[in-house]
Structure 1
Amino acid sequence: MRKGKRKRGIKSKEGIGYWQSYSDLMAALLLMFILITMAILIKSNYEYQKKLEEQRLAQQQIMEQNEAMKRQQELLEEQEKKINDLIGVKAEIIEELSDAFNDVDLKVTIDNNTGAIAFASSVLFDYNKSDIKKSGEEFLNQFIPIYMESILNDRFRDDISEIIIEGYTDNVGDYVYNLELSQKRAFSVSKYCLDNPSLLNSTEEYDNLKNILTTNGKSMTNLIYKENGEVDSDASRRVEFKFRLKDDEMINELKEILESNKTED
């Protein structure tokens, strides 16, 4: 009987061991399931957070682009306003010149776009000469005070960077000879302006003129033509007074920028 009891004890221990192994296996499987589930959740959360970050960055980029476009538009509007203001100054000067010379009997031509004033060389010089004749001096004695007062008055003085006197010839003869002749003629007119300070309205105006007056000889460039296509020699032989605004170059650059941006839009 003792042997039988001993055998039953052995069977009981084997059953317990079997169930313990099964429980350990199930626990291990459950742990693996939990770990896999956690890994999936962590990965899903990472991908979700990554997607949120990508969306946030995309929205931020869109906002930055919109802000940049807004700043660019504001800059363009500011530049366009500045151009219009500067063009307005030029238009006012041209109007001032037109009004001033309408009141006197001087044969001059005013370019309504640039404000350049031209008159025939024959008014000032004999043919093929560069010394100002007597009637030319009388012409300049009338012309210079009106022109300088219109250009260098208090309204426009700070806007003017240069007054340019240019001489032109016809297309007869050698280019280099005509270049020298046109340069001498332009210089004679400039010298007459500076040698006669009494023609200007004030010492301040005269000092300003000395700082901004330049002279150019253009030879036979920019010839003037008749309606039939022939060169108008009399009109081509001329002297021109021009002015340049301090911001002329900037105006041209801004115009190019604005036109370029409008084309891109």
Structure 2
Amino acid sequence: MFGAKIVLKRPSRDEAEKPFWISFADLMTALMVLFLVVMGVALLAVTKNVTEKEKREEQHRKDIELLMDSFEKAAQRTQFKGITFERERRVINYGDRAQFAFGKSALTAEQEAVLRRFVPEILTLANSELGKRVMKRVVVEGYTDKTGTYLSNLNLSLQRSQRVLCTMFATSGPALLSEIQKESVRSLFLVGGYSFNAAKNTDEESRRVEMRIEFLGVGEQRSEAPVQSGNFGECALR
């Protein structure tokens, strides 16, 4: 009589207890997955950087080996008989082609000519594309025998190194260097002295001069010397 009876359906107990927000466990799982993805990407990036660094280091090492091969070949030419390139020490040893008399720092005209004929070989290699990538400089090292005091021999070894540089800038004699070659020598060569710290088996062998090749590190570039055209001066040694 009063119309149909309206029945309200009550939600079940299970539906009432279901949370509206995502559960804490699901949230932690999602965060863990996200963390693993980020770490995976980061590890891949680091691995890629390490691999590229190793490739650069390996290529740099190969370039140095190639340049040392060229130094060996240059020293083996007939006109440079007696000059050797010691690969492990990275040193050009002139042997008896540039030995000094006892207590002296002078070289004979023939010895000076030998030095001036070989140095252009060094400059050619140093200024090649390969040389510019890996070669830093040339250190001229003079040595003495064990006779005498340490300080007197140290001074003598420095004079012998300086004599070699003076030979490069000579204005008279055979096989003179050009002005451009002299500029390269001034830019690349450095004087060093080693007294009798690396004496050879005999006194004669110890009284020698060597040129040590220094190489650049990976990513390092050769520093350019300030431009100083000419004005080489005269040798202070007599």
Fold match (TM-score > 0.5): yes
Contact 2:116 2:168 in 1 (8 A): no
Deviations along 1:208-242, one digit per CA (max 9) or x if unpaired, are: 33222111101222344xxxxxx554443321112
Amino acid at match of 1:66: G
What does 1:125-144 correspond to in 2, within 5 Å?
125-144=100-119
Q: How far did residue 249 of structure 1 move?
A: 8.5
CA contact (8 A) 1:93 1:150 kept: yes
Aligned length: 208
Q: 28, 39, 47: which one pairs with 1:73?
A: 47
1:232-243 equivalences in 2 (<5 Å): 232-243=202-213
The offset of 1:117, in angstroms, is 0.6
| Counterparts of 1:154 and 1:205, CA distance in 2 | 17
In structure 1, the partner of 2:30 is: 56
Structure 1 letter corresponding to 2:188: I
Q: Which runs of 5+ in 1 are unaligned?
A: 1-29, 225-230, 251-265
Deviation at residue 126 of structure 1 after TM alignment: 1.2
Identify which of 163, 169, 178 aligns with 1:188: 163
Query: What amino acid maps onto 1:190 in structure 2?
Result: L
Q: What's the secondary structure of 2:94's corresponding residue?
A: strand
Query: How far apart, in 2, do the equivalents of 1:248 and 1:218 lie?
Result: 28
Aligned to 2:224: none
- Tell me what 1:176 maps to: 151
Q: RMSD in angstroms over aligned alpha carbons?
A: 3.3
2:127 aligned residue: 152
Deviation (angstroms), 1:155: 4.5
Q: Distance in 2 between matches of 1:72 and 1:123?
A: 52
Report the CA distance shift for 1:107/1:53 in structure 2 as closer, same or farther (over 3 A).
same
Matches within 5 A, 1:242-257: 242-247=212-217
Give the % identical residues.
Answer: 19
The farther-off stretch of 70-79 and 233-242 is: 233-242
TM normalised by structure 1 equals: 0.65
| Higher percent of residues as helix | 1
Cα gap change, 1:121 to 1:187, in 2 (>3 Å)? farther
Give the unaligned 5+ runs of structure 2. Answer: 1-9, 221-238
Task: Tell me which structure has the larger Cα radius of gyration.
Answer: 1
Q: How does 1:82-161 map onto structure 2 within 5 Å?
A: 82-104=56-78, 105-120=80-95, 123-153=98-128, 155-157=130-132, 159-161=134-136
User: Cα offset for 1:173?
Assistant: 2.8
Give the Cα–Cα distance (whole angstroms) in 2 for the partners of residues 49 and 165 of structure 1: 76
Q: Deviations over 1:70-107 (max 9, x none)?
A: 22221122112112222222122211122222122431
The structural deviation recorded for 1:177 is 1.6
Distance between the aligned counterparts of 2:154 and 2:61, measured in 1? Answer: 32
**Distance in 2, Cα, partners of 1:208 & 1:234:** 31
Provide the C-alpha distance between the structure 1 equivalents of 2:171 and 2:134, rounded to a whole number of angstroms.
24
